[in-house]
Amino acid sequence: MNIHKEKQVANGLDRELLSKLLAFAKPYWKKIVVAFVLAGLFVAATLVQPYLIKVAIDDYLTVESSLQESFQGFVIVGVLFLISVIGAAVLTYYQDRLLQFTGQSVIFDIREKLFRHLSKMHMQFFDRNPVGRLVTRVTHDTEALNQLYSQVIVNLVKEVLILVGIFIILINMSVTLTLISFTVIPFLIILVYFYKSLVRRAHRYTRLVLSRLNSNLAENLSGMRIIQFFTRERRQIRQFDHLNNEHYRAGMRGTVVNSIFNPAIGFLGNIALALIIWYGGIAVIDSALTFGVVYAFTHYIRQFFQPIMALADRYNQIQTAMASAERIFELMEEEPVIKDHPKARNFPRAVQGDIQFKSVSFAYVEGETVLKNISFHIRPGETVAFVGATGAGKSSIINLINRFYDIQAGAIEIDGMDIKKVKIADLRTKVGIIQQDPFIFTGDVIYNIRLHNDHLSDEDVKELTRSIGLEEFVLSLPNGYNTRLGEQGVILSSGQRQLISFLRALAFDPDILILDEATSNIDTETEELVQKALYRISEGRTTIIVAHRLSTIKHADNIIVMDRGEIRETGDHYDLLKQRGIYHRLYQIQNKESIMEKRMSGIGKGMKV
Ligand SMILES: Nc1ncnc2c1ncn2[C@@H]1O[C@H](COP(=O)(O)OP(=O)(O)OP(=O)(O)O)[C@@H](O)[C@H]1O
């Protein structure tokens, strides 16, 4: 946010922002209008009360009126007073209900729009925006807007109406007494002016410290395992304490400003009261004013100062809401970089799985090329493996096939069609990916495999699991297919998570299957199981495997060896060994490692015996 914008938001005057906020409230405008009418009636019902007491005192408590007249008058005034009190309560209730409904509905719409928008965003956006920040936008920031719609605006209108209403009533009752009691107004204006700038600064500082505290907390909680692993708890606690302390002090700064402002306003109000009693008292003695007028004045002046004291809260709420609105709209207006080409279409025929990379170059960050001039051709039904050192660019290639990222040069074609001309949704249903560390959602096993794929019945999921020999694994879980996984459920081991993701990818019956280090966390026994399943699944289906363990890709039709973003060797296992290049070296290293492992386990067993 630039400084100018920041200033506008701080002043709550950003017209563009206001018009966007109004646009969200537009579908509910009828309810809002009714709520404002009710608020106006509430103000009238409240303001009439002191006036009724004035009438009772001046017209029926005077010596001139007879006992019967007085009695009748008191009854009428009493009934009217009661009606106004009950009316005010009923009006507040309905107005509150209407606005709560409107606020909640608007926030529901904003939240939904925000989530839809986030679902369309490209991977680079998620690389840049930590999850904690996005969660804050969808929950905390929208809640701040809820307050704006359901409380702040209507209360502000009510308070302005009360101030204007009281001023009109007072002027009508006595111009002189009004002017005398309003001599405190210039002091009030000065006070409000200073308060505004102090509270703005305090508020901005609190927001800054809070976001620092939040990101520190989010990072520490997600990295708790590492913190405990390296016994860094004390240092992390100290760091958190420091930020917490800063937040406390920032909060106190705001509280101190408010605690000076509110009594100061109260003090000015009391001065105004004293002036009324002083001047009004003399005027009553001189019969220039009635006692009822002076009495009503004291009431109205007290009512007059209440909204001004509430100004502190109102101002804070508007500041928070405007800052939140700014952040929400900023997010909503960020265009997804990866979207359908205007002429994008679905694949015209069933996908055969022919993949071609034609001189592809790619960088995540401008200027830092990760893949350089990559070309290869995978024919339908082939199993192709990518190997290479860490950071060679294997996963990046995979990320490009289903357009998680777009390339900067060259072309990627599936069945002869440039993937940029294919509808993203169609492309992604044709390409199934099994990742190294798959995500498990809160829900049972069936839900996690099916993932809203309504074409699959429970029985279909079971049949699929059985067909690739993984049913035994599912049934070994505490509740079989109904075992709850994810946050509140069983925490699966990494290997078990991979098996679930394996089933998930297959449930979508993709034409192209990609395994990105998908067997790295699986033990040798389970790997055999997976290898068998894989063999069955990859038959007649283009399969791409990224693996560090060369034993898993030995049988691939073609192996592509990558090094620092470039293809260095290609061929099958035996060709590559003959070439005596990078692959041969990797193979030898891994062979030595596995011989060592076998020896070590032999020693281990020997020792046990
Ligand atoms: N989201 C990202 N943003 C920026 N740079 C990235 C991103 N993902 C990977 N990189 C960089 O791209 C390069 C290639 O990474 P990639 O993940 O493709 O390698 P890899 O061969 O799959 O490695 P590994 O075997 O460790 O998974 C690395 O230098 C890495 O730092």
For residue range 419-474, list pLDDT tens digits in order.
999 999 899 988 988 877 778 888 888 888 888 777 888 888 898 888 878 888 88
Strands 484-485 and 369-378: unpaired
pLDDT tens-digit readout, 507-518: 888 899 998 877
Q: How far is the CA of 65 from the centre of ligand 1 (A)?
A: 94
Name the residue with higher pLDDT: 459 or 598.
459
Predicted pLDDT at 245: 94
pLDDT digits (tens, 9 = 90+) for 274-300: 999 999 999 988 888 888 999 999 999
Q: Residues 520-523: contacts with CB within 8 Å, 24+ apart? A: 520/436, 520/547, 520/548, 520/549, 521/436, 521/437, 521/493, 521/494, 521/495, 521/497, 522/495, 522/498, 523/495
Which of 60-74, 213-227, 330-344, 388-402 has the least mean pLDDT?
60-74
Residue 604 has pLDDT above 60, yes or no: no
What is the pLDDT, as a whole number, of residue 421? 93
Tell me if 451 sits within 8 A of 501, measured CB to CB: no
Identify which of 78-92, 224-238, 435-449, 485-499 has the greatest average pLDDT.
78-92
187 pLDDT higher than 70: yes
Q: Residue 35: pLDDT above 50?
A: yes
- Helices then strands, counting H and E runs in the chain, come out as 22, 12
- Averaged pLDDT, 529-546: 79
Tell me the CA–centroid distance for residue 393 and ligand 1, in Å: 6
Superfamily of domain 355-440+492-608: P-loop containing nucleotide triphosphate hydrolases (3.40.50.300)
pLDDT of residue 609: 30
In this prediction the ipTM stands at 0.95
Q: Higher model confidence: residue 124 or residue 5?
A: 124
Ligand 1 pocket test: pick from 126, 386, 390, 516 the residue with the most ligand atoms within 8 Å of its Cβ.
390
When pLDDT is averaged across residues 127-151 and rounded to a whole number, the result is 82
What pLDDT does 60 receive?
Answer: 77
Q: Are 138 and 113 in contact (CB under 8 A)?
A: no
Q: What pLDDT score was predicted for residue 405?
A: 92
pLDDT for 608 equals 38
pLDDT confidence tier of residue 371, bands split at 50, 70 and 90: very high
Please give the share of the chain, as a percent, with pLDDT higher than 70.
92
pLDDT at 8 over 70: no
Please give the distance, rounded to the nearest whole angstrom, from the Cα atom of residue 499 to the centre of ligand 1.
24
Q: Is 394 in the pocket of ligand 1 (CB under 6 A)?
A: yes
**Whose Cα sits closest to atom 4 in ligand 1?**
364
Read off the pLDDT of each residue in 189-215 and give the average, rounded to a whole number: 82
What's the 573 CA to ligand 1 centre distance in angstroms? 25
Mean pLDDT over 21-46 rounds to 90
Residue 601: pLDDT band by 50, 70, 90 thresholds?
low
Residue 395 Cα to ligand 1 midpoint, Å, equals: 7
Q: How far is the CA of 526 from the centre of ligand 1 (A)?
A: 28
* pLDDT greater than 60 at residue 591: yes
CA distance 233 to 214: 18
**CA 565 – ligand 1 centroid, Å:** 10
User: Is 153 or 88 the better-scoring residue by pLDDT?
Assistant: 88
Residue 9 has pLDDT above 60, yes or no: no
**Ligand 1 center to residue 364 CA distance, Å?**
9
Per-residue tokens: 398: 């995979």
Substitution site in 123, 125, 360, 370 for ligand 1 pocket (most atoms within 8 Å of beta carbon): 370
- Residues 394 and 387 sit within 8 Å (Cβ to Cβ): yes
Interatomic CA distance for residues 161 and 317, integer angstroms: 19
Distance 212 CA to ligand 1 centre (A): 28
- In this structure, which residue's CA is closest to atom 12 in ligand 1? 370
Task: Please tell me the distance between residue 396's alpha carbon and the centre of ligand 1 in angstroms.
Answer: 6
Sign of the Cα pseudo-torsion (282, 285, 290, 295, in order): positive
pLDDT tens, residue by residue, 83-112: 999 999 999 899 888 888 888 898 899 989
Atom of ligand 1 nearest to the CA of 405: 1
Lowest mean pLDDT segment, chosen from 6-15, 238-247, 309-318, 412-421: 6-15
When pLDDT is averaged across residues 471-500 and rounded to a whole number, the result is 81
Across 20-26, average pLDDT: 87
Q: Could you tell me the residue ranges of all domains in the chain?
A: 15-333, 355-440+492-608
- Is the pTM higher than 0.80? no
> Which distant-in-sequence residues (6+ apart) come within 8 Å of 47 by Cβ?
162, 165, 166, 169, 300, 303
**Residue 301 pLDDT > 80:** yes
Does 186 have pLDDT greater than 50? Answer: yes
Tell me, using a 6 A CB cutoff, whether residue 370 lines ligand 1: yes
Contacts of 90 (CB under 8 A, 6+ apart): none
364 touches ligand 1 (CB under 6 Å): yes
Give the residue, 421 or 262, on which the prediction is more confident.
421
Q: Residue 562: its pLDDT value, please?
A: 92
Q: Check whether 597 has a pLDDT greater than 80.
A: no
Considering the domain delimited by 15-333, tell me its CATH architecture.
Up-down Bundle (1.20)
* Confidence band of 232 (pLDDT split at 50, 70, 90): confident
Give the ligand 1 atom nearest the CA of 399. 18
Nearest to 12 by CA among 269, 316, 400: 316
* DSSP secondary structure of 379-390: -TT-EEEEEEST
Q: What is the mean pLDDT of residues 236-263?
A: 89
Looking at the CA of residue 397, tell me the nearest atom of ligand 1.
18
| Confidence band of 63 (pLDDT split at 50, 70, 90) | low
359 pLDDT exceeds 90?
yes
For ligand 1, say whether the CB of 437 is within 6 Å of any of its atoms. no
396 in ligand 1 pocket by Cβ < 6 Å?
A: yes
Regarding predicted confidence, which is higher, 375 or 603? Answer: 375
Higher pLDDT, 39 or 533: 39
Q: Round the average pLDDT of the chain to a whole number and report it.
A: 85
- Residue 520 has a pLDDT of 66
Does the structure show a pLDDT above 60 at 603? Answer: no
Closest approach atom of ligand 1 to CA 123:
1
Residue to probe by mutation, ligand 1, list 123, 128, 390, 396, most atoms within 8 Å of CB = 396
287 lines ligand 1 (CB under 6 A): no
Question: Ligand 1 in contact with 127 (CB < 6 A)?
Answer: yes
Task: Compute the average pLDDT of residues 537-560.
Answer: 85
The pLDDT value recorded for residue 521 is: 64
